[in-house]
Chains A and B, each alone.
Chain A
Amino acid sequence: MNKFITTEIQEEIGLKQVLQKLPVQSPYGKDAKENIKPYLMEDLEALKGILTDLRVFLKTMEQDSQLTRGLKRILGELKDIKGSIYRAKAGEILSEVEFFEIKKQMIAMEKLRKFILNYKMQIAYFKLAPMKEIVKVLDPEETGMETFYIYDVYSEVLIDIRKQKRQTENIIHQKNKILKEEVYKKTGVKPKLNGEIIVLKEDQQLLEKFVDYDKVYQTAENFRSFIFKVKPSEDLKTMKAQIEDLKQLEEEEEFKIRKRLSKTIGNHAEAILNNIDFIGKIDFTMGKAILALQTKAVEPQIVDYPKVAIKGGRHVVVEEKLKCQGSDYTPIDVNLDRGVTLITGANMGGKTITLKMMALLTAMTQLGLYPPAEEVILGPVAFIYFSSGDQQSAENGLSTFGAEIQGLKEVIERAEDTGLILIDELARGTNPIEGYGISKGVIQYLKKKPSLTVITTHFDGLGAIEAIHHLQVVGLKNVSLEILRKELEDKRNHKGLLEKHMDYRLEEKRGEATAPKDAIMVAKLMGLTEEILTEAKKAIGEREGKVDDK
């Protein structure tokens, strides 16, 4: 995953946040989600397959809302029992608590298996192997209860031991009762359940009765009283010793049974682990489907050559933030092929968000998720690189420019690999003359490479480079200046004015060399002091020989 897209970039483009929104119900689904891997060009068929699975699931889900409800209920109860299964597979002996957990899960697996079978979905991992056999082993009395106990029926020997133990216990109880009653009759004092009798020293009469009585013996004496105990008869003593022996035999027999059960589970380990893997995938597929519905995503069309064509693409994280502020996200169309695409346009024109949107939708598609757009045609890329142009790398002692160049250097080395390279405001961290030079060099170099490169810039003249694709943010171009002026006069507060008029969409540009000069207008709309703006216009006029009247 890191080779495809680094953790920092995952975070920067909002992929981390999107994945956080993908819900899973079980520890197995969580595993599947954490081990998510991108599908590359060589996995084309697998990618198509996984996207088809998602389509099948979504279709079934739309037809019957009970599907997700039922799945959530069963999956939500599952605990991670892989550890116990591995232990059994390795020949170790499991504890009763482990058998309990396994039994419970096998019953749940059977329930899940039957539940999804009803829906007849043509998805390979929606066919779980039956676990009836193991359920039967762990529920030998076929009670259907989720409880566990080393049941008598596990072995004849056990039945016999337990029977003897119970009989002996009963005889002991009875004999004790008789003994105590005898003592009670003789002395008028009822011994406690543990056989103790406390006699106060001041009660001479009673004391004499006990001292001479052969059915009791004195166990302790304290300041005020003597404590006597009912004397167990010889046969009672023998029986108690018998019980201890029987307990030991029972333990040994139970151990044998646990060993046998562990072996059975060990023998089925592969099938169980395979089911667990499938359950993870089922859970993850449901999560992907829920995410797709929530983000109004679409099934992408996968092609076998590198391409990113997006119609009405939305950066869902930004969209959500805007929604909270009461504004809408403008869906963007973009069509990338091999070579370099240049994006120019107004400040605040959404170029950075558009770059992130391309990265996010490409990453989501290649991870087997539906991208939030109206239509996506995508040929897998080998990696996704995004440079924001303002990354700092303090720990490496690099400045903004230094960090940008460092990243660039690394990605240039991989440019033959057919990646998606997105560079925001290339070389903006240095002086405009050299910045322009470096940008031109990078574009000239990358346009010959198989990678899909998108570069945003404010530098003039880059759009004139041969054989590149030039897009421009529509920006404020189509807004009437009259209206803008009027609104500026009306409103003291400029907040929201810019966003209201800014057109974030991209349009094709051919042969035009200059980048649009919207910066002063944008600054004005944002309410920067008029004095500064006048001075700025004057300075531009002096340099270019004429005053831009915008």
Chain B
Amino acid sequence: MEIMDLIRHKYKTVSLVGMAKNAGKTVTLNRLLEEAAEKGITLGLTSIGRDGEAQDIVTSTEKPMIYLLEDTIVATTEDCLLRSDAKLEILEVTDYPTAMGMVVICRVKNEGYVEIAGPDTNIAVKEVAMSMLSHGAEIVLIDGAINRKTTASPSITEATILATGAVLSRDIDKVVEETIHQVDLFNLKPVEDVMVLGLAEELLENKSYGVIDQNGNVKTIDIKTAINSGTVIGRALDEDSRYVILSGSLVKKTLEDIMTITDAYKDVTFIVRDATKIFIGAKEWKFFEKRGFEIRVAEKINALVATLNPYAPQGYQFNPRDFYKKMKQNLSLPVVDVMLEEELDE
């Protein structure tokens, strides 16, 4: 199956996230580039920046070197541009700064490798994507991340591709379970109440925490991060509380701490920005659901397809056919093995 067929004529912006390093995200990206080349689709490509961590700049670990064909539009940083092996025509120097210079939008004039590092805020990524579309890209691909450090989220794109693979666990069933869980998180219901959504977005925008009561009053909670602050949130809850807005990451410990000091959480809906902010495993998630926690998102992520990598860099691998079959049976979305080109549907 061709992934591009799922995208073309339906979505203009698509993000790509990996469940872990080496889950096959770069392989998936290259596959998409190949498919686009075969179909004559002009792609726009960028990556959600990594907040300019020094280590990344030195080791270049997270920034993929991608081989780009002629006419591809790419948004990367000034430093990456000057180091690139492909010949690039500069179309626009944006006002978005990164640790490696401004984000620059280019057109590939002669094929070659390009190092890609893009902007790191939602607004910047959106603007850059729009700009690439206006410069002639038919589809914009954004190399994203499920990562606590980035503020930009895959929810800003119309569809998201999830890369998963053997790297998650030696136990094939565990990999399937975690992948199902991740897709379930992507499918988490967004907040429906328009008024609550408005209040939540405002709090999330300001990176703050707050409780909304049944009369629509907002009480902000003074904490910098939800990690280790479940107690503070728990204390702020009473029988009138209806919603809790959590900026930043949602981790197991927060919910545990809330549970130990109050049972008011049972009447409360917790709201996070989107599913990539949740760092709770499949088993724990079920446990919290059973205890009555209701968690929703402000922005939904539209999971389009899952790509599989049956090989783990640790040296083990799954039988590709078994892996594919299990995933296909259990996931509610299309599945593609990106390592084996041959057709697995037999």
A-side residues, CB < 8 A to B, are 95-97, 100-101, 147-150, 162, 165-166, 169, 189-194, 198, 200, 222-225, 247, 250
Assuming the contacts A149-B109, A198-B339, A247-B85, asked whether A100 and B93 have C-beta atoms less than 8 A apart, the reply is yes
Determine the residue in chain B with the shortest Cβ distance to A97.
B78
CB distance from A26 to the nearest CB of B (A): 14
Q: What is the 8 Å Cβ interface bit string for chain B, positions 306-346, against chain A (1 contact, 0 not)?
A: 00000100011101100000000000000000011110000
In the assembly, what is the distance between CA of A147 and CA of B102, in Å? 16
**Chain A residue contacts of B91, Cβ below 8 A:** 147
Q: Is the CB of A148 within 8 A of B315?
A: no
Q: Is the CB of B90 within 8 A of A190?
A: no
Interface presence of B111 (CB below 8 A): yes
B-side residues, CB < 8 A to A, are 30, 34, 78, 81-82, 85, 87-93, 101-102, 104, 107, 109-111, 311, 315-317, 319-320, 339-342
In the assembly, what is the distance between CA of A193 and CA of B319, in Å? 23
Q: Is the CB of A96 within 8 A of B315?
A: no
CB distance from A205 to the nearest CB of B (A): 14
**Chain B residue contacts of A191, Cβ below 8 A:** 341
In the assembly, what is the distance between CA of A194 and CA of B87, in Å? 21
The 4 closest A-B pairs by CB, nearest first: A149-B89, A100-B90, A193-B34, A148-B90
Determine the residue in chain A with the shortest Cβ distance to B91.
A147
Q: Is the CB of B78 within 8 A of A224?
A: no
Determine the residue in chain B with the shortest Cβ distance to A166.
B110
Pick from A189, A194, A223: contact of B342, CB below 8 A.
Answer: A189
Pick from B30, B78, B317, B340: contact of A222, CB below 8 A.
Answer: B317
In the assembly, what is the distance between CA of A433 and CA of B129, in Å? 76
Pick from B82, B92, B311: contact of A96, CB below 8 A.
Answer: B82
Determine the residue in chain A with the shortest Cβ distance to B111.
A169
**Chain B residue contacts of A200, Cβ below 8 A:** 320
**Chain B residue contacts of A192, Cβ below 8 A:** 341
Q: Is the CB of B341 within 8 A of A223?
A: no
Determine the residue in chain A with the shortest Cβ distance to B321.
A200
CB distance from B24 to the nearest CB of A (A): 13
Q: Is the CB of A162 within 8 A of B110?
A: yes
**Chain A residue contacts of B93, Cβ below 8 A:** 97, 100-101
Q: Is the CB of B90 within 8 A of A97?
A: yes
Assuming the contacts A193-B34, A222-B317, A223-B317, asked whether A95 and B342 have C-beta atoms less than 8 A apart, the reply is no
**Chain B residue contacts of A194, Cβ below 8 A:** 30
The 6 sampled A-B contact pairs (Cβ below 8 Å) are: A95-B82, A96-B88, A147-B90, A162-B110, A223-B317, A224-B317
Determine the residue in chain B with the shortest Cβ distance to A223.
B317
In the assembly, what is the distance between CA of A169 and CA of B109, in Å? 13
Assuming the contacts A148-B90, A149-B109, asked whether A223 and B316 have C-beta atoms less than 8 A apart, the reply is yes
CB distance from B112 to the nearest CB of A (A): 8
Q: Is the CB of A222 within 8 A of B341?
A: no
CB distance from A126 to the nearest CB of B (A): 28
Q: Is the CB of A198 within 8 A of B340?
A: yes
Pick from A97, A169, A222, A223: contact of B82, CB below 8 A.
Answer: A97
CB distance from B27 to the nearest CB of A (A): 10
In the assembly, what is the distance between CA of A165 and CA of B111, in Å? 11
In the assembly, what is the distance between CA of A225 and CA of B319, in Å? 10
Determine the residue in chain B with the shortest Cβ distance to A148.
B90
Determine the residue in chain B with the shortest Cβ distance to A250.
B87
In the assembly, what is the distance between CA of A97 and CA of B103, in Å? 11
**Chain B residue contacts of A165, Cβ below 8 A:** 110
CB distance from A526 to the nearest CB of B (A): 41
Q: Is the CB of A148 within 8 A of B89?
A: yes
**Chain B residue contacts of A96, Cβ below 8 A:** 81-82, 88, 90
**Chain A residue contacts of B109, Cβ below 8 A:** 149
Assuming the contacts A147-B91, A148-B90, asked whether A97 and B311 have C-beta atoms less than 8 A apart, the reply is no
CB distance from B336 to the nearest CB of A (A): 14
- 14 extra A-B contacts, CB within 8 A, seeds A192-B341, A200-B320: A95-B82, A96-B82, A97-B93, A100-B90, A101-B93, A147-B91, A147-B92, A150-B87, A166-B110, A193-B34, A198-B339, A198-B340, A224-B320, A247-B85
In the assembly, what is the distance between CA of A147 and CA of B89, in Å? 7
**Chain B residue contacts of A224, Cβ below 8 A:** 317, 319-320
**Chain B residue contacts of A100, Cβ below 8 A:** 90, 93
In the assembly, what is the distance between CA of A200 and CA of B101, in Å? 46
CB distance from A30 to the nearest CB of B (A): 16
In the assembly, what is the distance between CA of A64 and CA of B82, in Å? 45
Q: Is the CB of A222 within 8 A of B315?
A: yes
In the assembly, what is the distance between CA of A223 and CA of B311, in Å? 10
CB distance from A368 to the nearest CB of B (A): 32
**Chain B residue contacts of A101, Cβ below 8 A:** 93
CB distance from B69 to the nearest CB of A (A): 10
In the assembly, what is the distance between CA of A189 and CA of B109, in Å? 33
CB distance from A348 to the nearest CB of B (A): 43
In the assembly, what is the distance between CA of A250 and CA of B92, in Å? 24
CB distance from A189 to the nearest CB of B (A): 7
Interface centre among B319, B339, B341 (most CB of A within 10 A): B341
Determine the residue in chain B with the shortest Cβ distance to A162.
B110
In the assembly, what is the distance between CA of A96 and CA of B86, in Å? 14
**Chain A residue contacts of B90, Cβ below 8 A:** 96-97, 100, 147-149
In the assembly, what is the distance between CA of A147 and CA of B88, in Å? 11
**Chain B residue contacts of A166, Cβ below 8 A:** 110
Determine the residue in chain B with the shortest Cβ distance to A99.
B90
In the assembly, what is the distance between CA of A338 and CA of B38, in Å? 87
**Chain A residue contacts of B89, Cβ below 8 A:** 147-149
Determine the residue in chain B with the shortest Cβ distance to A247.
B85
**Chain A residue contacts of B92, Cβ below 8 A:** 147
CB distance from A22 to the nearest CB of B (A): 24
Pick from B81, B107, B342: contact of A97, CB below 8 A.
Answer: B81
CB distance from A75 to the nearest CB of B (A): 16
**Chain A residue contacts of B88, Cβ below 8 A:** 96, 149
In the assembly, what is the distance between CA of A250 and CA of B87, in Å? 10
CB distance from B50 to the nearest CB of A (A): 21
